Amino acid sequence: MPIIEEESFDPEINPKAAIAVDVVIFSVVDEELKVLLIQRDFWPFHGDWTLLGGYASPKETLEETAKRELFSQTGIENVYLEQCHVMSDPGRDSRTRVVSISFMAVINSQDYQVPYLGEKARLGWFGYKELPPLMFDHAQIIQAAYIQLRQRLKYSNIAWRLLSKEFTLTELQQVYEIISGKKLDKRNFRKKVLVVGMVIPTKKRQHNVSHRPAELFRFKK
């Protein structure tokens, strides 16, 4: 019977790396795709804008870390999180080796009140195409999440997370156009979403509008 050697581990040869989680939160605000950022109130990088996130605890999963940091920094909870990307460049953080696992969240900003954190820290929505200078490689993380969001839009109903429970087909089309960056033909778009059974009519119409009330729909569960 062959002798199986035990794998050796030498912390000098195989040094430990810190594990961080970064969360990219997308929403449509004022008819524009935006990302929620936080301004750091401590050194290093004091005053810089960054993604929400933090270091993973040895006793929790990465998903638990993402949810914990999201709630502690914004009060936002019970949102869908989707693992997105891994950033592992050894030099991405000059202080030590940090591997970042990013998550993407897509929310309707009207459902969540962004809290005021005081004069030393701020949260803010920034246009995806108008981001401020970001620390580390967070701009790359956001770009990777955006690519994933566009792909998900093609084969899933992830758009419902950006809308109210009931919506018009015009509002749905606007979300698709904002994320894809493309103008869509109204007739073809409506035909597609109705034929595939993505949405179903609620038998209700808009109210308190200055124009002819449009029919309201909801996503099929």
CA–CA separation, 206 and 171 (whole Å): 12
CA distance 90 to 27: 31
Whole-number Å distance between alpha carbons of 162 and 54: 25
pTM above the 0.85 mark? Answer: yes
Residue boundaries of the structural domains of the chain: 18-155, 163-219
Residue 25 phi, psi (nearest 5): -105, 115
Tell me the C-alpha distance between 122 and 111, whole Å. Answer: 19
pLDDT tens sequence for the chain (221 residues): 566 666 666 666 667 889 999 999 999 999 999 999 999 877 777 788 999 999 999 999 999 999 999 999 988 899 989 999 999 888 788 788 899 999 999 999 888 876 655 454 588 999 999 999 998 999 999 999 999 999 999 888 899 999 999 999 999 999 999 999 999 999 999 999 998 888 999 999 988 776 888 999 999 87
pLDDT number for residue 94: 75
| CATH fold for the domain made of 18-155 | Nucleoside Triphosphate Pyrophosphohydrolase (3.90.79)
What DSSP designation does 13 have? T
CATH 3.40.50.300 fits 163-219, yes or no: no
Of 124, 119, 121, the closest CA to residue 109 belongs to 124
